[in-house]
């Protein structure tokens, strides 16, 4: 099993406790979130101190981490390793958020030790992107007709 190093927490990042919702408004987020299911493998330690690995799909991703559903009872005080088979990258994380899902484990917010948008192998939308604008019709300009009529025709 892969060795996990101790992750140091950033002092400016607020940690969400197990009972908090951890929701922040989109304006307060450090990077855009994208709802996408990317297959990854999560390596970590459960609350009994035993190592586990679980193949899951992401719920949302950002340049700073991901939200995943885990069946394992993760120890949020220990670092976690994510492996993305598509990009062949590994990244160390910490559990920043936890929401129990009745009888099915928990939704876990995983935060990268430092931002790594290329980990996901996707392009993130710009900060000022408004998802509601995708559904608005795009104004099109009328086509310009160029006549090939010669002089005197």
CA distance 137 to 140: 9
Question: Within a domain: residue 1?
Answer: no
- What pLDDT does 21 receive? 38
pLDDT digits (tens, 9 = 90+) for 81-99: 999 999 999 999 999 999 9
Question: Within a domain: residue 147?
Answer: no
- How many helices and strands in the chain, by DSSP H and E? 0, 7
Split into its structural domains, the chain has a count of: 1
Question: Within a domain: residue 15?
Answer: no
**Ramachandran region of residue 103, left (φ > 0), alpha (ψ -120 to 50) or beta?**
left
Q: Which CATH number is 43's domain given?
A: 2.40.10.220
Question: Within a domain: residue 61?
Answer: yes
Q: Are 45 and 4 in contact (CB under 8 A)?
A: yes
Q: Are 42 and 53 in contact (CB under 8 A)?
A: yes
Question: Within a domain: residue 126?
Answer: no
Question: Within a domain: residue 128?
Answer: no
For residues 130-150, average pLDDT: 58
Domain extent at residue 77 = 26-121
**pLDDT tier for residue 58 given thresholds of 50, 70 and 90:** very high
Question: Within a domain: residue 35?
Answer: yes
pTM of the model: 0.64
pLDDT digits (tens, 9 = 90+) for 41-54: 999 999 899 999 99
Question: Average pLDDT, whole number, for the chain?
Answer: 75
């Amino acid at each position: 099993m892969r060795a996990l190093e101790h992750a140091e927490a950033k002092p400016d990042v607020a940690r969400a406790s197990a009972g908090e919702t951890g929701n922040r408004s989109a304006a307060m987020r450090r990077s855009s979130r994208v709802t996408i299911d990317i297959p990854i493998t999560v390596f970590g330690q459960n609350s009994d101190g035993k190592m586990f690995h679980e193949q899951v799909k992401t719920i949302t991703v950002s340049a700073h981490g991901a939200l995943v559903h885990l069946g394992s009872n993760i120890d949020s005080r220990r670092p976690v390793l994510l492996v993305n088979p598509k990009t062949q990258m590994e990244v160390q994380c910490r559990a920043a958020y936890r929401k129990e899902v009745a009888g099915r484990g928990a939704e876990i917010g995983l935060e990268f030790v430092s931002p790594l948008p290329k980990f996901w192998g996707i392009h993130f939308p710009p900060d000022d992107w408004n998802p509601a604008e995708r559904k608005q019709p795009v104004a099109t300009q009328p086509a310009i007709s160029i006549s090939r009529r010669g002089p005197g025709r």
